[in-house]
């Protein structure tokens, strides 16, 4: 993200910010050749039903830690399934919620129950925890409690604050290297894509259909690059910019999240009758930053400081269904000095837990391994301060989230060139105001994936837009999964355009805030991916 230029003591900055470079792999640009996958016995499925998903089944699958050594050390992937029920069977539909680091086990149940019944009945909807994640084994947890409150202020406006944040980032990278030295070289997107093909083979399918959100779009694109002949259908929702992996992608996110946060401030101003924070969006935004400054000095409930406040409000950039709850907490603090709703919002949206520790460990492992990151902290400092004055909302919070990559113990690969002209029709979905995966990434993927079709949600700002209440988008998705039908435009960026859903209403309104389906989906997708 971006920042303003701070005046720091040169000697102190050098002491805090010098990072030793680790060499990139000389052979990183060569994609591994797909290893022959021996026929395997199918997974042993057992019932793992929940109240919401009564037909959900679970299984596990062993795969090589290193796919170049198929008979070497094995790891275990956790799988889930909602089996097909129709006579017409279209094979497995693998689903992924993103991250990297997101668990996909429950997503299978959600997708199967949210698609039209006659469509879902034709597929085995397959979820999985990627390597390192959740119920897969080993599951990474580099430094439990890394995000425990109260952390240093994310904005490093003094040498001491910068040193404190750098120490946290370096200690996290060191902890990962100490605990998982033998595993980290194989926690990356290419290895995960090889796992996807191992799942396909274990299911006995010649071809695989795939439906990914967020980072899951990049995983799907990499799988398609490795195994184009094994792709039957490919749906990518909220598309990672495939040419920005990963350092530049985070810088581009910063600008987009700032725009989305300002849209939230404007929404609060529009509903001044409910929140009493003024009708001028700039005044509302000033009040938010004043709240942040106050919390930096006196954390709410001893738990919500400036960094935790950013953690709490960042989810509003992913999904506007959270806006009414975040607005109420903001108003209670500013108007009444009541910290209770703010602490509650932090617990609901920003507080870490064990699954979050695991997800972050995998997130850093994948991102730091997938692509090169600056190893000289001066580059990070310059880039992030350079953005801060334009987009202060999340710049430094995002920078520190990714900063372990400056110290990562495993050398980086080069990102995969996902350009592909060997695929069947591919269907892409993208909102114009998406902050986590900005619109330009969807356009770039559309260009790189020959024969793809791009459906745009015009005016939408949410991240993850299908199966979230927009019937226009979902009709395109259902048609494609039914018989491969995709829209064809007139040569412009978009092949089809759907209007965005209206913004939510304040909680006092009978209309309440969000569809339950949208809230459920965004709970499964999580944040940061």
Catalytic residue set: 214, 434, 463
Close Cβ partners of 184 (under 8 Å, ≥ 6 residues apart): 176, 177, 365, 369, 409, 410
Terminal Cα-to-Cα distance of the chain (whole angstroms): 15
Buried b (16+ CB within 10 A) or exposed e, 397-435: bbbbbbbbbbbbbbbbbbbbebebeebebbbbbbbbbbb
364: tokens are 């850093």
As a residue count, the chain comes to 529
Closest among 307, 277, 271 to 292, alpha carbons compared:
307
If you compute the radius of gyration of the chain from its CA atoms, what whole number of angstroms results? 23
Buried b (16+ CB within 10 A) or exposed e, 484-514: eebeeeeeeebbbbbebbebbbbeeeeeebb
Q: Rounded CA gap, 131 and 144, in Å?
A: 19
Peptide bond just before 246 cis, omega within 30 deg: yes
Cβ atoms within 10 Å of 244's Cβ, excluding its own? 20
275: tokens are 């929140």
Closest among 527, 473, 366 to 115, alpha carbons compared:
473
360: tokens are 């972050």
Q: Rounded CA gap, 238 and 463, in Å?
A: 6
Report the half-sphere exposure of 179 (CA within 13 A, side-chain side): 16
Instruction: Say which DSSP state 300 is in.
Output: B
Q: Rounded CA gap, 150 and 273, in Å?
A: 33
Whether residue 86 contacts residue 53, with contact meaning beta carbons closer than 8 Å, is answered with no
Close Cβ partners of 344 (under 8 Å, ≥ 6 residues apart): 329
Whether residue 53 contacts residue 520, with contact meaning beta carbons closer than 8 Å, is answered with no
Whether residue 514 contacts residue 501, with contact meaning beta carbons closer than 8 Å, is answered with no
Q: Rounded CA gap, 342 and 155, in Å?
A: 21
State the virtual CA torsion across 130, 144, 148, 161 in degrees, nearest 10: -100
Q: Rounded CA gap, 20 and 170, in Å?
A: 12
Buried b (16+ CB within 10 A) or exposed e, 51-71: eebeebbbbbbebbbebeeee
Q: Rounded CA gap, 385 and 254, in Å?
A: 12
Whether residue 3 contacts residue 165, with contact meaning beta carbons closer than 8 Å, is answered with no
Cβ atoms within 10 Å of 26's Cβ, excluding its own? 8
209: tokens are 């259909």
């Amino acid at each position: 993200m971006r920042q303003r230029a701070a005046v720091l003591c040169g000697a102190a900055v050098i002491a805090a910010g010098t990072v030793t470079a680790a060499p990139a792999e000389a052979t990183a640009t060569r994609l591994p050749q797909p290893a022959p996958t021996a026929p395997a016995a199918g997974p042993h499925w057992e019932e793992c039903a929940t109240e919401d998903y009564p037909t959900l089944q679970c299984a596990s699958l062993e795969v090589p830690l290193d796919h170049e050594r198929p008979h070497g050390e094995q790891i275990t992937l956790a799988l889930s399934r909602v089996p097909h029920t129709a006579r017409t069977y279209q094979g497995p539909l693998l689903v992924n919620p993103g991250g990297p680091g997101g668990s996909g086990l429950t997503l299978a149940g959600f997708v199967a129950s949210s698609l039209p019944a006659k469509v879902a009945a034709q597929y085995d909807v397959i979820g999985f925890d990627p390597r390192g994640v959740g119920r897969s084994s080993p599951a990474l947890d580099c430094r439990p409690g890394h995000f425990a409150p109260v952390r240093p202020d994310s904005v490093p406006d003094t040498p001491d604050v910068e040193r404190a944040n750098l120490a946290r980032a370096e200690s996290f990278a060191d902890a990962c290297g100490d605990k998982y030295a033998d595993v980290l070289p194989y926690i990356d997107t290419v290895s995960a894509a090889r796992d996807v093909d191992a799942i396909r083979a274990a299911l006995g399918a010649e071809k695989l259909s795939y439906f990914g959100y967020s980072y899951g779009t990049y995983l799907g694109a990499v799988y398609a690059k490795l195994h184009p002949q094994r792709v039957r259908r490919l749906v990518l929702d909220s598309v990672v910019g495939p040419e920005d992996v990963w350092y530049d992608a985070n810088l581009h996110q910063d600008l987009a999240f700032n725009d989305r946060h300002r849209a939230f401030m404007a929404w609060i101003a529009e509903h001044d009758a409910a929140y009493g924070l003024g009708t001028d969006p700039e005044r509302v935004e000033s009040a938010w930053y004043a709240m942040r400054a106050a919390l930096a000095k006196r954390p709410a409930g001893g738990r919500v400081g400036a960094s935790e406040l950013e953690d709490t409000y960042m989810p509003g950039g992913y999904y506007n269904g959270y806006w009414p709850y975040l607005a109420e907490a903001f108003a209670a603090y500013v108007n009444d000095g009541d910290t209770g709703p703010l602490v509650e919002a932090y617990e609901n949206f920003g507080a870490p837990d064990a699954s979050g520790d695991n997800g972050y460990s995998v997130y850093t492992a994948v991102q730091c391994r997938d692509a090169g990151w600056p190893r000289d902290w001066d580059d990070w400092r310059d880039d992030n301060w350079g953005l801060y004055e334009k987009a202060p909302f999340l710049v430094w919070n995002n920078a520190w989230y990714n900063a372990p990559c400056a110290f990562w113990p495993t050398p980086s690969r080069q990102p995969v060139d996902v350009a592909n002209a060997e695929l069947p029709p591919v269907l892409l979905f993208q909102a114009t105001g998406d902050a986590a995966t900005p619109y330009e990434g969807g356009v770039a993927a559309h260009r790189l994936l020959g024969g793809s079709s791009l459906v745009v949600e015009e005016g939408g700002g949410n991240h993850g837009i299908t199966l979230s209440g927009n019937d226009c988008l979902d009709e395109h998705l259902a048609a494609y999964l039914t018989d491969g039908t995709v829209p064809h435009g007139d040569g412009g960026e978009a092949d089809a355009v759907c209007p965005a859903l209206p913004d939510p209403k304040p909680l006092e309104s009978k209309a309440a805030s969000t569809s339950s389906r949208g809230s459920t989906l965004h709970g499964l997708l999580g944040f940061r991916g």
